[in-house]
Structure 1
Amino acid sequence: MTSNGTGTHGAVLPDTAPDRNGPIVELRGAGKSYGNIRALHGVDLEVHPSQVTCVLGDNGAGKSTLIKIISGLHQHTEGDVLVDGEPVRFTTPREALDKGIATVYQDLATVPLMPVWRNFFLGSEMTKGPWPIRRLDIARMKETADQELRNMGIVLDDLEQPIGTLSGGQRQCVAIARAVYFGARVLILDEPTAALGVKQSGVVLKYIAAARDRGLGVIFITHNPHHAYMVGDHFSVLRLGTLELSAARSEITLEELTNHMAGGAELAALKHELAQVRGVDVEELPEAEDLTAPVATSPSSEGTS
């Protein structure tokens, strides 16, 4: 698939972010069943412009299913999914992309041996010349890729280097800049810091904040509450396919968020059983009521930040 450089390229800019109060994407009681197995049930979620919505949960909590519903890979079997207030039922990821919903998966969908600029335009290459002998406009693609990366604060000395030679954090940032350039309004990031060290994780978090500042609504999927709390505006915790917690940043502390992620309520409920095990000191363990969130609110009760 080629492009002549027109269309949605560069559609999301600092001065052209959507000027609206309502959510771009909204889930109302959304769920997904595979036969008799209910993978997701009754999930409410809102994604606003200029806001990072963090979705946290352990393995098997339903995070991947949630991604697949919003990105158009799978259809929801219950509830509603709305984009700009209109109900939608995506049948392919292309339909989600057409609505401005882009997903950056852990594998990043890059070709390691190709140069950075080729990966930036992979599948949407710019061309020049008359049809049917159009050819790649290499100079314009290099210039555009360099400019867009710099707009996100990413400066690479050589765009000809294979993208596989970049660090994991740099590759994540290139994928984010690519999604922004091609008109994403909602950016879904699937565990972008899972396989990265502390320094590279910090680099990725920096560019997540940069995407938010450019007006995008970001869905940050993670199992790390510390990373989420650094950039998040709203937090949703999934457990066994259901929404356990939905709270704005001002309504929850990092310690409370960590307790929810770690299953603290369940552990506290077992305190009386642990007390009967010889050699286990349970005096310092928290009570179940100490681990409940102050208020589990709907995302609609808060504004954007």
Structure 2
Amino acid sequence: MRDAFSDALVRLAVQDPKVLLLTGDHGYALFDAFRNQCPAQYINAGIAEQNMVGMAAGLARAGFRPFVYGLSAFVPLRVLEQIKLDIAHDGLPVVLLGDGAGFVYSHLGTSHQSTEDIACTRVIAGLDVLSPADRHEMTACMAHAYAARRPVYLRMGKSDRGDVHSSSLAPLEAGRMIQVRAGQLDLPAFIATGSMVRTALDIAEQQVDAGVWSVPSIKPLDAAQVVRVARDSRGVVVLEEHSTYGGLGSAIAEIVGEHNPVRVMRIGVSDRFSEHCGTYSYLLKEHGLDHDCVLERIRMFIGSTPA
């Protein structure tokens, strides 16, 4: 997925010399191709993320198309005020790229783990929130973010969990979920984003014959489509590598609760920090987001949901 991101960014920059990449002293190897092909469009703003976002706002006002890259623990979390006031308030076409969402930077501890970024960004007025699940969604999200010409936050999670789509996607429709797998209608629908789409798909293919929907666009989110999926299913299971507060699960529950009250299970990170450092796989297990823990919770939910 990171290769797809790099390829898409280089392609946009070659096509449009107004595209600029700003980084807060991160992503050197990731941006080798960009620096080689578009060196004049690359700005290392240093470890000063708040200044970097302010710089991006000024460049956008001057007619440039800034893409601002940082770890998602810092972009957006460290720079929320600047995103809100410098960029979103005036609708500037700045794309914010938060890499390492969730537990990707597992060994670096809580300071580098990001399970709050969706909640923080989806409440900022005028800011779109994207969360691709694989390289195909990443390519589509990058094209959409550039074409939107408004503030966008793009969340990048674990990059090596494999494809969930078999081929390239059509251009994203704002707010539309993508059906990855059809399933039995007497089971809950699985609605997932980012890295957890792979988990949802594995469980649906191996153990629970449920339909799976991927959500590359968390904001906006097509409420009418969410309601249709909920009405056609026996409940909804939402999976995300993010806090259960304020993330995709909250967005789905808000829509379903208002328009079509069915049961919604939110599978995500509980209201706590990681207790230990370790591998990415270890942290998923600690927080109950590994395959076996998720499967057990889904089976309990199905067993307690009226037919």
For normalisation by structure 1, the TM-score amounts to 0.34
- State the structure with more CA Rg: 1
Bigger RCO of structures 1 and 2 (CA < 8 A, at least 6 apart): 1
For normalisation by structure 2, the TM-score amounts to 0.34
